[in-house]
Amino acid sequence: MKFGILVSEGPYTHQAADSAYLFTKAALEKGHEIYRIFFYHDGVNNGTRLTTPPQDERHIVNRWSELAEKHKLDLVVCVAAAQRRGIVDADEAKRNGKDGDNLAPGFRISGLGQLVEAGIQCERLVTFGD
pLDDT at residue 130 is higher than 90: no
Residues 129, 9 contacting (CB under 8 angstroms): yes
Residue 73 predicted with pLDDT over 90 = yes
Query: Is 78 assigned a catalytic role?
Result: yes
Q: Percentage of residues in the chain with pLDDT exceeding 90?
A: 98
What pLDDT is attached to residue 16? 97
Task: Name which of 47, 51, 35 is nearest 104 in CA terms.
Answer: 47
Name the average pLDDT for the chain.
96
- Sheet with strand 33-39: strands edge to edge: 107-110, 75-78, 33-39, 2-7, 124-128
Domains of the chain (ranges; CATH) run: 2-128 (3.40.1260.10)
Q: What is the pLDDT of residue 83?
A: 95
Question: pTM of the predicted model, to two decimals?
Answer: 0.96
List 68, 77, 78, 88, catalytic entry: 78
